[in-house]
Amino acid sequence: MTKYKYNKAFLYCVCIIFLSHPALSADSINDDLMNLSLEELNTIEVTSVSRKPESLFRAAAAVSVLTSEDIKRSGATNIAEALRLVPGINVARIDSNKWAITARGFNRQFSNKLLVQIDGRSVYTPLFSGVYWDVQDLILEDIDRVEVIRGPGATMWGANAVNGIINIITKSAQETQGTYLSAIYGNFEKGTFEARHGGYIDDQTAYRVYGKRIARDESKVVATGNGNNDNWHQERLGFRVDRDFSLNEKARIQGDFYSGNEQQTYFLPGAFAPAVTSEVDGDETVLGANILANWSKTYSDGSENRFQAYLDYIQRDISNVLDQRRFTFDLDFQRTANLNERNNMVWGLGYRIFRDHLDENTFPLQQQYLDYEPEKSNNNLISAFIQNEFAVIPDKLFFTLGSKFSHNYFSDFEIQPNARLSWHATDTQTLWAAVSRAIRIPTRGERGLSSIALSTPGGFVRQSANTQRNYDSEKLMAYEMGYRTQPAKWASIDASAFYNEYRDLRTFETGVSGFNLPNTLFELVASNSGFAETYGAEISATVSPTKNWKIITSYSFLEMETHSKKGSDDFLIAAKEGQSPEQQITISSRYNVSEDLEIDTTVYYVDELPAYNIEDYTRLDLRLGWRLTPNSEISLVGQNLLNGYHQENRPSLYSRQAEIGRSVYGKIAFNF
């Protein structure tokens, strides 16, 4: 009851703040300006500061950006695969439709320390804080850029931004005018078709609509070498409308709808009897829809207001395991203002509601593989942040201090502050350092889930949440620094190093959860007895030896030390050390043979995962792109050409260990 009241109070505040802002406008510009002569223009002073998005080169964080050109020339056919190019990001394909992706360690199928957003819409699942990468798709051509921040970014971005943030930003409708058509077919890609059309509704309003269908073949089971029965297809439709009310005021509405089916053979412990793990054929049907509205306005003093709201619905029915329904509603307000010449402040408020319904499948013996308690829940997340950038020495030295304050449905009040210092000794050098704290909110599963970890003749070993609810957030203190330089026009180097201290990491202790499920041999109950130190570095260099040739290389190193507190009998956390690769190397070459012909080669090296007995591997991707006419292009792509089938990671739940093989496909695209 009180909770409800206070939500209302919060919403009220948001509304008041939003509505009370005086409608300032300073758009009419160029009539005066345009009547000036060339000489006069030459002498006019810039008296007001335009707030530019912070240039990547000056950012005080380990940021990398994938441009739409990078994505195209990587030959990737989906977002998850394109992320392989980002320095320090570990992308491991588990099978045909599953990926494990994270930065700076703790990688697994449902990596729970990463925040992923598409045009400002958070796409991680509060159920386990991981991302269903199979349903994160777009027409890749319409992606403007993917900004990847390694390390915590909780202050500005919020919950779950512990080890990194992936921010996928699509082009505006103005930038995607005309018709685009593409088709992909190959041995693994069983027919991907993309169509998009963009136009103008009136002078100020542009739109685009798109449709996409994908179909992919199965991977191979490690143990038997047979097909893994995980082929899948997915269809999606979407739109985006952008309106420029004036030069400084913009709004957009966008939405997507998708539906698909993924074959799967489940590896279910205790489906029919204890001690028996059965292989059962089934499938996952996925469906989702979302709509987002965003409004922003820039004022004459360079300040900006931004308001965003979205609705998101997902549905995933995993046969024999779980039917999920989740509804999210999110409101965000952000304001940036130059307080004076030296201080730039940004602050914001956010409110999010989750509503879910989890319906578990019950096996014949009245057993459930996953048992969620309660089955329906209704939670919210409230947050506010404030951050100020102070120019200690204008243009040279900046000090940023800020914090996020949030209240969530599970671990109550949390503070996530950060302090950053950046020094731009010259125009071509940036040196930065940061200290930040971030937390990972407990998941729905950690709040109330009991699952069968192992089926033995004596009964089940269950992994369960502590129903007494004294399970807390995982916490991180991160110390980072980095250096960026552009020694010549044709070369740039970006290096970053970090030392992370984690506290209250999840462990599983033998104990009693309170679930009281039958046939239990013993229970492993979630507890916060883990801690860890990780350190590492990421270095990337880009060189353009000639005008037509660009080489991008990166190296990342990661060392993890995980421990559990005295008295803990957890035996799982130690294995985390061997579940993320220590070293990764990427070398990518892009060569324009002529105006019409591109040859791109990328080599990836990924270190072994000793905890899973997975060997290191080297992967070679080749792409040949040929522009037939100014409006059409064909390309031939070979992925994973070197060693054929190899395993990259392990599934977290119910599916078999799988290997990914060579993929060769052809693509044709038209733009008119």
Partner 1 sequence: MLYKTIPIFCYIVLLCFVCISSAQAEQLSYTDAQIKAAFILKLRDFVNWPVSKSLKTVCIVGDGLVGNSLAFTIRQNRNVQLKEIRVVRKTLTSSFSECHLVYFDETSESIFPQILFSLKNQPILTISDLDGFIDREGMIGLNKENRRIVIEINHLQIKKNNLDISSKVLGVSKRVLE
Contact positions with partner 1 (CB under 8 A) in 334-363:
335, 337, 339, 345, 347, 349
Chain centroid offset of residue 206 CA: 28
Nearest distance, CB of residue 393 and partner 1, angstroms: 18
Smallest gap from residue 318 Cβ to partner 1 (A): 37
Rg (CA), the chain: 25
Classify 139 as helix, strand or coil: coil
Euclidean distance between CA atoms 112 and 489, whole angstroms: 39
H-run or E-run covering 9: helix 2-20
Beta carbons within 8 Å of 223's beta carbon, 6+ residues apart: 656, 657
Give me the least distance between CB of 153 and partner 1, in Å please. 21
Which residues, numbered 429-488, are part of the site for partner 1 (CB under 8 A)? none
Least CB distance to partner 1 at residue 427 (A): 8
C-beta neighbour count of 305 within 10 angstroms: 19
Nearer to partner 1, 114 or 149 (CB): 149
Question: CB 29 → partner 1: shortest distance, Å?
Answer: 5
> What is the layout of strands, in order, in the sheet containing 143-150?
62-67, 143-150, 164-170, 114-118, 121-122
Interface with partner 1 includes 201 (CB under 8 A)?
no
Contact region for partner 1 (CB under 8 A) — 16-24, 212-220, 284-292, 611-619?
Answer: 16-24
Question: If binding is defined by CB under 8 A, does position 382 make contact with partner 1?
Answer: yes
Report the distance separating Cα 374 and Cα 153, nearest Å: 31
Rounded to the nearest whole angstrom, what is the least distance from the CB of residue 397 to partner 1 in the complex?
A: 20
Site map (CB under 8 A) of partner 1, residues 44-83, x = contact = xxxxxxx-xx-------------xxxx-x-----------
Amino acid at 577: E
Looking at the Cβ atoms of 173 and 609, the one nearer to partner 1 is 173
Cβ nearer to partner 1, comparing 597 with 642:
597
125-144 binders of partner 1 (CB under 8 A):
141, 144
- Give whichever of 32 and 457 is closer to partner 1, judged by the CB atom: 32
Locate 381 and state its tokens: 């997340």
Strand residues in 303-396 grouped as ranges (E): 304-318, 322-338, 343-360, 370-372, 376-393
Min separation Cβ 144 and partner 1, Å: 7
Which residues have CB under 8 Å from 4's CB, separation 6+? none
Q: Between residue 230 and residue 269, which ones bind partner 1 under the rule CB under 8 A?
A: 244, 246-247
Tokens of 214: 């994908």
Residue among 40 and 359 whose Cβ is closer to partner 1: 40
Interface with partner 1 in residues 630-659 (CB under 8 A): 630-631, 633
Q: What are the CB-based long-range contacts (under 8 Å, 24+) for 398-404? A: 398/60, 398/422, 398/423, 400/60, 402/155, 402/156, 402/346, 403/155, 404/154, 404/155, 404/156, 404/158
209 binds partner 1 (CB under 8 A): no
Binding mask 81-120 for partner 1 (x = CB under 8 A): ----------------------------------------
- Within residues 562-621, the interface with partner 1 by CB under 8 A covers 592, 595
Contact with partner 1 (CB under 8 A) among 2, 224, 366, 470: 2
Question: Please, what's the largest Cα pairwise distance for the chain?
Answer: 90
By beta-carbon proximity to partner 1, the closer residue of 45 and 225 is 45
Residues 529-548 touching partner 1, rule: CB under 8 A, are: 547-548
Distance CA 649, CA 387 (A): 38
Stretch of 117-125, 256-264, 293-301, 362-370 lying at the interface with partner 1 (CB under 8 A) = 293-301
What one-character-per-residue DSSP string does 386-450 give?
EEEEEEEETTTEEEEEEEEEEEETTTEEEEEEEEEEEE-SSTTEEEEEEEEEEEEPPPHHHHHEE
CA distances for 469 relative to 160, 383, 440, 520, 526, angstroms:
20, 22, 16, 21, 10
By CB under 8 A, residue 413 contacts partner 1: yes
Closer Cβ to partner 1, 141 or 616, answer by number: 141
State the number of binding residues for partner 1 (CB under 8 A).
Answer: 83
Quick check: 492 and 542 in contact, CB under 8 A?
yes
Minimum CB–partner distance for residue 422 and partner 1 (Å) = 19
The residue from 160, 263, 303, 562 that contacts partner 1 (CB under 8 A) is 303
Among positions 187, 201, 204, 468, the unique one binding partner 1 when judged by CB under 8 A: 204
In the complex with partner 1, which residue's Cβ is closer, 30 or 378? 30
- 516 makes contact with partner 1 (CB under 8 A): no
Stretches 42-50, 151-159, 261-269, 272-280: which one binds partner 1 (CB under 8 A)?
Answer: 42-50
Question: Nearer to partner 1 by C-beta: 20 or 366?
Answer: 20
Nearest 5°: phi and psi at 643? -115, 20
Residue closer to partner 1 (CB basis): 52 or 566:
52
Cα(142)–Cα(491) distance, rounded to whole angstroms?
28
Nearer to partner 1, 490 or 605 (CB): 490
Nearer to partner 1, 412 or 533 (CB): 412
What is the b/e burial string over 280-302, where b = at least 16 CB atoms within 10 angstroms of the residue's CB? bebbbebbbbbbbebbbbbbeee
CA dihedral 414, 112, 60, 413 (to 10 degrees): 0
CB 563 to partner 1: min, Å? 33
Q: Which residues of 87-107 are buried (b: 16+ CB within 10 A; e: fewer)?
A: bbbbbbbbbbbbbbbbbbbbb
User: Using the rule CB under 8 A, is 501 a contact of partner 1?
Assistant: no
The reply on whether position 405 binds partner 1 by CB under 8 A is: yes
CA distance between the termini of the chain: 57
Nearest distance from C-beta of residue 597 to partner 1, angstroms: 12
Minimum distance from CB of 69 to partner 1 (Å)? 5
How far is residue 48's CA from residue 304's CA, in Å, rounded to a whole number?
13
